[in-house]
Amino acid sequence: MTDSNPIHFSSPELERSILGAMILHPEVVDIAWDHLNADSFSNPANRIVFEVISEIEKEGKRADSPTLLNALRERNKLKDIGGAVYLMTLMDGACVQAYAEQHAKILSQKQQLRDFISHLEQIRYESKEVTTEEIPEKIEKWQQKVLTVGQMADTPVFGIEEVVGAAYQEIEEIREGKRKLGYSWGLPALDEKVFIRKGGIYCIAGLKKSGKSKFLLFAIYNLLMQKVPVLFFSLEMSKVKIGNWLLALASEINTRQLLTTGLGEERWEKVRGARKWLEKFPLTVVVEPSMTIAKVLSIARRWRMRTGKDGAIALDFLQLMNMEREKGQNEASAIKNVAYGLARIAKSMDVPLLFTAQLRNEAEKHRHPNLSFLEGSGGIAQASEAIIILNNIRRTMHKTKPDRTIEWIVSAQRDGESDIMIPLLAYLEYGSFELESFREGEGEWIG
């Protein structure tokens, strides 16, 4: 009996449509990587194109049509796919970007089906030589093999040996100094309360001009000092302004003095030395006034491929993200979705992600601002390892005289103490922070 509606184990048309979209739309590359690998393509030519596109993208380049054509020529694979004409065929048949994920999922399912059939054929072959005594053991082995086919590539399932083994290996590597559990803020007293751990997100909240962006830059600077590659998304500051603050930190010359014609030769030499020193650090800056979670993820993946395993991501600041709010959705709910999106990025890439967020203006009337002044605080707290509030004493107490004291408040923390306050001295004109007990000093407050 024949099936009137047979299942097709492959779909060359879908393969071509997703490859064409990968060439034309950079965002589709990330969608494809979420669901597909080279084996997802049954057609050998399509498999080659996918592999070369992936190689180009992992080098930090854009796999557009001319770049892909040159890469295929350099690898002597252009003839294997049918020449340049085949690339034109792929682009002509490209799917609409909105349908890319749907097409990728279908191809992934067809790959699973092929794998399932392959396993069954292998079981059938192995079963011919099985002895009576081996039957129970073999059946268990074959069952496990078949069950693994149903596990989607983006939904890992592990046995107890793998879970415990991975944890044991991490503990051993940390014990031997081969791996770091996380990173330092740059001040040991802060690390004792909140350590920057891989895979978590950390919110640094405060009022306008409270020093939250400067503290984020201070944290970035100290991560770089620990030789940690950093990807910084700046939704507000320009690249020149970021450069000024980094030069001020490294040269110990405040930003107002940097931007004057009266900068003496001695200080100028310090600035020149700071520039050479800073240029050795692995910092990547993305300046964009509006970012979506999808765009952050796309850029972060390319950055990771260039830098390797370790790293950290920073973003300034949350409320400037493109919330992509649905009809009828309130701001708190939209912020929650963005926070959860950032948490997924941190977890999937196993990097810490630090971001700033702004408190509502009503917080100025309160001596100790709390989470109630942070829009979407419930969602942010659920997604974050910790929420730090920077309280500018001068603003909340309406002081007129200069005061460098700033309160570093652990307002919420997943696995640790909350409602902890550590007083810091903020030298914002230098972008620097110190423990209040470490050094006393007076001077003009630069908000």
pLDDT of residue 298: 80
Rounded to 5°, the CA angle 287-446-435 comes to: 95
Domains of the chain, by residue range, sit at: 7-157, 182-435
pLDDT beyond 90 at 314: yes
What's the average model confidence in pLDDT over 354-372? Answer: 84
Q: Number of helices and strands (H, E) in the chain?
A: 18, 11
Tell me the whole-structure pTM to 2 decimals. 0.68
Phi then psi dihedrals of residue 403, to 5 deg: -150, 120
Q: Are 409 and 364 in contact (CB under 8 A)?
A: no
Which tens digit of pLDDT belongs to each residue from 195-214? 899 899 999 998 888 889 99
Q: Does residue 7 register a pLDDT over 70?
A: no
Give yes or no for residue 445 having a pLDDT over 80. no
Query: What is the percent of the chain with per-residue pLDDT over 70, rounded to a whole number?
Result: 88
In this structure, are strands 386-392 and 405-413 parallel, antiparallel, or unpaired?
antiparallel
Average pLDDT over residues 338-361: 90
- Mean pLDDT throughout 309-329? 82
Q: What is the pLDDT of residue 447?
A: 30
Quick one: fold of 182-435? Rossmann fold (3.40.50)
Residue whose C-alpha is closest to residue 86's, from 144, 34, 15, 30: 15
* 224's tokens: 């770089």
Q: Angle between the 239-251 and 265-278 helix axes, to the nearest 10 degrees? A: 110
Residue 260 DSSP class? S
Q: Print the SS3 string covering 173-210.
A: HHHCCCCCCEECCCCHHHHHHCCEECCCEEEEEECCCC
Q: How far is CA 342 from CA 130, 196, 227, 357, in A?
A: 51, 15, 23, 13
Angle, alpha carbons 385-390-391 (nearest 5°): 140
**Residue 231: pLDDT band by 50, 70, 90 thresholds?**
very high
Length of the chain: 447
Model confidence at 439: pLDDT above 80: no
Average pLDDT of the segment spanning 392-418: 72
* Three-state secondary structure call for residue 447: coil
Q: Which amino acid, one-letter code, is at 43?
A: N
Kindly state the tokens that stand for 215.
């503290």
Q: Which two tokens stand for residue 59?
A: 């080098």
Confidence of residue 153 (pLDDT cuts 50, 70, 90): very low
Question: Mean per-residue pLDDT for 267-285?
Answer: 91
**Residues paired with residue 422 on neighbouring β-strands, in sequence order:** 408
Helix (H, G, I), strand (E, B) or coil at 149: helix
pLDDT at residue 372 in the model = 83
**Predicted local confidence at residue 149, as pLDDT:** 57
Question: Is a pLDDT exceeding 50 seen at residue 59?
Answer: yes
Residue 433 pairs in a beta bridge with 426
| pLDDT average, residue stretch 322-330 | 72
Asked, as a colleague might, if the bond just before 317 is cis with ω within 30 of 0, I would say: yes
pLDDT confidence bin for 228, thresholds 50/70/90? very high
Half-sphere exposure of 184 (CA within 13 A, CB side): 10
**Region of poorest pLDDT, from 37-51, 86-100, 144-158:** 144-158
| Cβ proximity of 404 and 425 under 8 Å | yes
DSSP-assigned states of every residue in 104-117: HHHHHHHHHHHHHH
Residue range 116-130, pLDDT digits in tens: 888 788 888 888 887
Higher-confidence position of 361 and 309: 361
In 3D space, the residue among 218, 273, 219 whose CA is nearest the CA of residue 245 turns out to be 218
Highest CATH level, class, for 7-157: mainly alpha
pLDDT at 147: 60
φ, ψ for residue 183, nearest 5 deg = -135, 165
Output the CA torsion 54→58→59→65 (10° steps).
30
Give me the phi and psi of 335, to 5 degrees please. -65, -40
The H or E element that residue 409 is part of is strand 405-413
Q: 328: number of CA atoms within 13 Å, CB side?
A: 0
Paired tokens of 247: 């030069």
Q: At 221, is the pLDDT very low, low, confident or very high (cuts 50, 70, 90)? A: very high
At 327, the pLDDT band (50, 70, 90 cuts) reads low
Rg over alpha carbons for the chain, rounded to the nearest Å, is 27
Q: Which segment of 177-186, 245-254, 324-333, 398-407 scores lowest on mean pLDDT? A: 398-407
- What is the model's pLDDT at position 120? 82
Q: Is the pLDDT of residue 369 over 90?
A: no
Q: In the predicted model, is pLDDT for residue 2 greater than 70?
A: no
pLDDT on residue 71: 92
SS3 for 89?
helix
Q: For residue 338, which amino acid is it? A: V
pLDDT at 440 over 60: no
Binned at pLDDT 50, 70 and 90, residue 437 comes out as: low
Write the CA distances from 257 to 33, 217, 247, 254, 427, integer angstroms. Answer: 48, 19, 11, 6, 14
The average confidence (pLDDT) of the chain is: 82
Mean local confidence (pLDDT), 22-41: 87
Give all strands (DSSP E) within 359-404, no chain letters: 386-392
pLDDT value at residue 177: 76
Mean pLDDT of 15-40: 88
